[in-house]
Structure formats: structure tokens, C-alpha cells
Amino acid sequence: MALTNQKQVEELADKISECADSIHVRLMKSIKNKEIDQYTAQSIFQDEATLRQRANSLYIDAANCVVEGLSESQKSIMDLIDTAKDKIRTIKKIAGFMDFIADLLVLVAAAYAAKPAPILAALEEIKKDVETLSKD
């Protein structure tokens, strides 16, 4: 069968399911009106169930089409997750730069008691340094 996309496959399966529904309605009417015997009823119901299996088979095809169609998006998502993890890791590396800030902190702490201006300058330095870091 030359049905390639999921929508076409699904629509065909829907049609087949609807046929099975119609058969069932007609069958129940015949049973109610005592038009048919049990054996005939069973054999018609058997055909109905067979049609439903055919439809279900197409729903599997449709699901497989979906899976195939998603392979590219799935790959993008996986790539993106990896990038995100890298970013989280990168910031953890920045934790290493805290050593550098430590030096500044000592300076600041030492200067603290005496002069406010150097402290503000040092803070300004920290701000600039880490701003540069976070751009990476």
C-alpha cells in the first residue's frame, strides 16, 4: 500500500473502523428482528472483528510514521539537553574563579575598616570580571 504519511494511514484506518461500526449496527438489527441464526451472526461478527484488526494494524503504521517523523525533533531535543548540561557545568567551572574573587575579598576585608572607596572600587572590579566570565 502506497500510503506514506501518518494522516493518510490514520484516515484509512478510521474509514475501516467506521465500516465495522456500520456492520455492527446492521448485525444487531438483524438479530433483534430475528432475521438471522446464531451461526450467521457469529460469522458476520467475525468479519467485523477482522476489519477492526485491519484498522488496528493501520493505527500501528500511523504510530510508526509518527515515530519516524519525530526523529529529527528528537535529535534536536537531545542536542539541546546536552548544551544545557554544558551550561550548567560551565557555571560550575565559574565556581573555580571564586579563588580569584577570594583574593579580592581579602583585599576588601583588609581595607574595610579603613577606607570605603577602595572597597567600592574592588566590588566594581568583581562585577566587571564576572560579567566578562558570564558572557562566555
Partner 1 sequence: MKIRRIASVLLLIFIVAGCANLKAVRDYASESAKLSAYTELTTRFRDTYEREQPYLFGEADRLAQDNDKRRKAAYEDLMKIHQRVSLYMQTLATMAGESAFDLSKEVDSLAGGIKAYPDFGINSKHVDAVSGIAKVVAKWITSAYQERALRDMVKEGNEPLQTTLQGMASLVRCYKKTNENERKTVLGFFDVEIPFADTAKDKLLKVLARAHAQSKTAEYKNVELKYDEAEKGIKSIADGHKKLLENIDKLSSEEVKAMISNFAKDIKTIRENLQKIRS
Tell me which residues in 42-101 interact with partner 1 (CB under 8 A). 42, 45-46, 48-50, 52-57, 59-60, 62-64, 66-67, 69-70, 72-74, 76-78, 80-81, 83-85, 87-88, 91, 94-95, 98, 101
CB-based contact 117:124 (threshold 8 Å): no
Q: How far is the CB of 4 from partner 1 (least distance, A)?
A: 15
Number of residues this chain uses to bind partner 1 (CB under 8 A)? 71
Q: How far is the CB of 55 from partner 1 (least distance, A)?
A: 6
Determine, following the binding rule CB under 8 A, whether residue 121 of this chain makes contact with partner 1. no
Q: How far is the CB of 95 from partner 1 (least distance, A)?
A: 5
Site map (CB under 8 A) of partner 1, residues 98-117, x = contact: x--xx--xx-xxx-xx--x-
DSSP letters along the chain, please?
A: ----SHHHHHHHHHHHHHHHHHHHHHHHHHHHTT-S-HHHHHHHHHHHHHHHHHHHHHHHHHHHHHHHHTHHHHHHHHHHHHHHHHHHHHHHHHGGGHHHHHHHHHHHHHHHTT-HHHHHHHHHHHHHHHHHHHH-
Q: How far is the CB of 3 from partner 1 (least distance, A)?
A: 14
